[in-house]
Structures are given as C-alpha cells and as structure tokens.
C-alpha cells in the first residue's frame, strides 16, 4: 500500500461528511463529473413515484392545492436560499438557466435606467450566457462589451447598465472574487448579475452579505437535482418592486386566475415566474435537496479544498512530469470545486479513464475536467482517480 493510499483511507475515516455518501445511488465508479450532472439522491425515485402515481394519478388537479404544487417554485427557492447565502423570499425556481439569465439581464438594464447604454459580460463565460447577453443587448438597444472579470473594475463607468459574470469559470475552475466585483459594480451605479452554476452547493456564495442584485443558477450540478432540473432566479429584496421581467406570464400576475387582459406583476420573487411550473422535475429537485439536511456549506467547502489539494498532490506524485498541466489556480481563494488539467490527447484520455471507472469530462480542445462533490466523493476516490490517470497516461 502506498503512502498516499494509506493517507486517503485515514482521511476518509475522519471525514464528517462521509455518512452522506449513503444517501446517493452510487456504483463502483469514481464519479468526478458532478460539475456537469450530480449523482442521484436515493430519496428521489420514491418521491417521483409518489408524485406520478398518487399526486397526479389519484389526486389529479387537486394536487395544485393539496400537494403544494402551486407554491413549489417559492418553497423550493427557500430551500436553496441558505445554500447561496440568501434569506427566504428572494429565490424562485423554474425555467432554465438560459431563460433566467435573459430575464435577469433585461430586468437589470431596465432598472439601471436611461443614459446607461453599455452591458459588460464575462469574456470567458459559458457560451450560452454570451449568446443571451448579446440578444438582451440588442433587444434593449445597449452595446455589449466583453471583458474578463479582472478587467471589470477598470471597465466600469457611468455608462454601465449591468454586468453579467460567472462565479466559477466552467473550463478552469477559477473562482472569481464575487464580493470585490459586486462592490465595484455597485459603486459604479450598475446592476450585478451573477451566474452561480458552478459554485452553488460547492462553496459559500453570500448573496445577501455581499449585496448581489440578481443571480441565476442551475440545480443539476452540485445540487443534484437531476438532468434538466429547473434553474432558479434570485432577486434581492430591495429590488423586487422594481424587477420588470421581460417575460411576464400568468404565473407572475398579481391575480393569476383573474385572467385580466392587462398585466400587473405580483409581489416578491414570484415576479420571476412565467408559465406553469414543471412539476415533475421540480418535485424531484425538492426531494434531492433533502441530502443537505444537517450539512453546512462551510463544511462542504473545507472538504472540497482538501479533496482538490489531495488530488493535485496525487497527480504530482503519480503522473509523469510534464504530461499534464493544471489550469486551476493553486490558491484556495481562487479555486472552485473542480480541477482542470490540460493534456494534448485529452479526449482519448477521458474515454480511457471512463472505461476504467473514473468518470470526468472533456472540454475541447485539450481539457480534462474533474468535479469534486464533497457529499459523495471521498479521498480514496481521489487517490484511485489519480492513480488510474497516471496509468492511462503512462
């Protein structure tokens, strides 16, 4: 037994989150792709069966009231709120991340007012965010200006209406400085919009603490909500009465069953609702979120950093020198919960890793991504992954 293998077993023995692993459906693979799709929480299949067979099959239309379907978007939003550092009443669940980015960005420009004709967008963003930002800018008659997060403070001026940024870079796993950037955006009189897809459920976000205006995120990564599970929209309390959604729907109307010809927005975060909620996937998400009972995000962050530190140590020990290059910052303050390694033949390497039971993913042209979900990934998993990687690369 190697020294690293022995250390991994000792670390697993004292892991305070180790018991959570039993709340997921896992097999013998080392699953390091939770930054793309989280593992299945064991409680979800039974809950979905109840929703389908009893709530839909027996109660039918009565379930909108008796099973709480109508209030699910806000109720589940309140369940997500502590995971991103938000008080209740500020998050509504529904639609996709892309749709919520559109709602948030157009509403941000409208709140910024006349005279602010420029929108800043993260130049390294996930492509869809960039596509949506370009469309929103055209729709609102604003100019779109791509900048890196590091360039945002110097790019801000009295023309800036809104700024759309990613908390964690999806390629490299770099964590951007949300508190400092939000403060700079607020100081310039602009509206901040943060994409939390790669940070929610992996590290503290502090939306309320840091004065974030608007935020969006998906739920199928570190929140384990399932493929295509609904996204969420955060609207800070102080902005809710000014939030002017570009997609007003009957579900966000002040009197949704009044069937009025004219639109009057409801109050609170439900202004972010549009049409009929996707109940099956939404209630699957609600069941998935139960794995967070008794878990602090701070404990998750501590284990995440320990896992990624240990993985980098194992890679340095096992993998031939010069065979891979880490794109993820070493500094904890700049690291999310994934490690990205550059490798010339990354696509083939990942296929071979998956065939040997180590599941990560590949991003063209040359990036191996490994996501570390502390609720179900252990230190022996990490050591095994690095050892198999070395064998594949050797």
Active-site residue set: 126, 195, 220-221, 369
Report yes or no: 94 and 73 within 8 Å, Cβ to Cβ.
yes
Q: How many helices (H) and strands (E) does the chain have?
A: 12, 15
Alpha-carbon distances, residue 131 vs 50, 94, 146, 164, 313 (angstroms):
39, 20, 12, 12, 38
Sign of the alpha-carbon dihedral angle for 224, 229, 235, 237? negative
Q: For residue 19, how many other CB atoms are within 10 A of its CB?
A: 10
Question: How far apart, in whole angstroms, are the C-alpha atoms of residue 206 and residue 81?
Answer: 10
Which is nearest to 191 in space by CA: 212, 209, 173, 167? 212
Which is nearest to 234 in space by CA: 190, 195, 204, 181? 195
Question: How far apart, in whole angstroms, are the C-alpha atoms of residue 390 and residue 86?
Answer: 42
Going by the DSSP 8-state scheme, the letter that residue 335 receives in this structure is B
Report yes or no: 85 and 206 within 8 Å, Cβ to Cβ.
yes
Q: For residue 347, how many other CB atoms are within 10 A of its CB?
A: 16
Q: Which two tokens stand for residue 164?
A: 């759309």
Q: Which two tokens stand for residue 387?
A: 């050892």
Residue 277 three-state SS: coil
Question: How far apart, in whole angstroms, are the C-alpha atoms of residue 100 and residue 140?
Answer: 16
Q: Which two tokens stand for residue 122?
A: 């993260």
Q: For residue 249, how many other CB atoms are within 10 A of its CB?
A: 15
Report yes or no: 142 and 164 within 8 Å, Cβ to Cβ.
no
Q: How far apart are the first and last CA of the chain?
A: 20
In sequence order, what E strands does 72-159 have? 91-93, 118-122, 143-147
């Amino acid at each position: 037994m190697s020294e690293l293998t022995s250390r991994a077993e000792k670390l697993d023995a004292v892991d305070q989150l180790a018991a959570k692993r039993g709340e997921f459906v896992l097999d013998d693979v080392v699953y390091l792709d939770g930054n793309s799709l989280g593992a299945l929480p064991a409680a979800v299949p039974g809950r979905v069966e109840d929703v389908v067979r009893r709530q839909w099959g027996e109660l039918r239309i009565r379930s909108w009231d008796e099973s709480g379907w109508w209030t699910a978007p806000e109720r589940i939003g309140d369940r997500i709120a502590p995971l991103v550092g938000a008080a209740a009443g500020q998050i509504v669940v529904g639609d996709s991340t892309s749709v919520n980015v559109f709602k948030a960005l157009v509403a941000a420009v409208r709140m910024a007012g006349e005279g602010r004709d420029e929108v800043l967008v993260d130049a390294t963003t996930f492509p869809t965010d960039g596509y949506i930002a370009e469309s929103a800018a055209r729709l609102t008659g604003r100019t779109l200006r791509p900048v890196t997060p590091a360039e945002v403070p110097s790019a801000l001026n009295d023309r800036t209406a809104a700024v759309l940024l990613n908390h964690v870079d999806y390629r490299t796993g770099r964590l951007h400085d949300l508190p400092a950037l939000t403060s700079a955006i607020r100081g310039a009189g602009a509206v901040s919009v943060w994409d939390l897809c790669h940070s929610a459920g992996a590290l503290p976000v502090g939306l309320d603490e840091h004065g974030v205006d608007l935020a969006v995120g998906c739920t199928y990564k570190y929140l384990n909500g399932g493929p295509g599970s609904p996204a969420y929209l955060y609207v800070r309390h102080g902005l809710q009465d000014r939030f002017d959604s570009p997609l007003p729907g009957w579900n966000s109307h002040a009197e949704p069953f009044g069937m009025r010809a004219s639109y009057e927005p409801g109050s609170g975060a439900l202004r972010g609702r549009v049409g009929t909620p996707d109940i099956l996937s939404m209630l699957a998400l609600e069941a998935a979120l139960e794995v967070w009972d008794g878990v602090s995000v701070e404990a998750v962050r501590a284990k995440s950093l320990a896992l990624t530190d240990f993985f980098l140590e194992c890679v340095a020990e096992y993998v031939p020198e010069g065979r891979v290059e880490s794109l993820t910052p070493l500094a904890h303050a700049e690291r999310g919960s994934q490690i990205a390694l550059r490798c010339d033949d990354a696509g083939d390497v990942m296929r071979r890793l998956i065939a040997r039971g180590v599941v990560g993913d590949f991003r063209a042209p040359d990036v191996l991504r490994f996501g570390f979900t502390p609720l179900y990934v252990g230190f022996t998993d990490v050591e095994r992954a690095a050892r198999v990687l070395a064998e594949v690369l050797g």
